[in-house]
Amino acid sequence: MLIKIFRASLANASGKHNNVLFVNIPRVHSVRRRSSMNSRITFTEDFFFRQLFDHQSSTYTYMLADLGSKEAVLIDPVLEQAKRDSHLIQELGLHLKYALNTHMHADHITGTGYLKKLIPGCESIISRASGAQADKYLENGDVVKFGRHTIQAVATPGHTNGCMTFIVNEQGIAFTGDTLLIRGCGRTDFQEGNPRTLYDSVHQNIFTLPENFRLFPAHDYKGNMESTVFEEKNYNPRLTKDIDTFVNIMENLNLPYPKMIDKAVPANKQCGLYDIPPDA
Ligand X SMILES: N[C@@H](CCC(=O)N[C@@H](CSS)C(=O)NCC(=O)O)C(=O)O
* Contact residues for ligand X, defined by CB under 6 A: 57, 105-107, 178, 184, 186-187, 219, 255, 258-260
Residue 34's binding partner among ligand X, Fe ion, none (Cβ under 5 to 8 angstroms by kind) is: none
CB-based contacts of 152, cutoff 8 Å, min separation 6: 141, 142, 143, 166, 167, 168, 169
Q: Which is nearer to ligand X, 210 or 237 (CB)?
A: 237
Using the rule CB under 5 A, is 220 a contact of Fe ion?
Answer: no
Q: 3-state class of 5 per DSSP?
A: helix
Minimum distance, C-beta of residue 86 to Fe ion, in the bound complex (Å) = 23
Minimum distance, C-beta of residue 36 to Fe ion, in the bound complex (Å) = 30
Minimum distance, C-beta of residue 105 to Fe ion, in the bound complex (Å) = 5
Residue 99's binding partner among Fe ion, ligand X, none (Cβ under 5 to 8 angstroms by kind) is: none
Find out whether 96 and 253 touch, Cβ atoms under 8 Å: no
Minimum distance, C-beta of residue 72 to ligand X, in the bound complex (Å) = 25
Minimum distance, C-beta of residue 231 to ligand X, in the bound complex (Å) = 17
For 95-116, give the DSSP string: EEEEEE-SS--SSS-BSHHHHH
**DSSP β-bridge partners for residue 98:** 73, 123
Q: Which is nearer to Fe ion, 71 or 178 (CB)?
A: 178
Footprint of Fe ion on 147-186 (CB under 5 A)? 178
The amino acid that residue 235 corresponds to is Y
For residues 146 and 98, what is the distance between their CA atoms, to the nearest angstrom? Answer: 8
Distances (CA, A) of 195 to 13, 161, 178: 62, 11, 13
Using the rule CB under 5 A, is 76 a contact of Fe ion?
Answer: no
Residues in contact with Fe ion by the rule CB under 5 A: 178
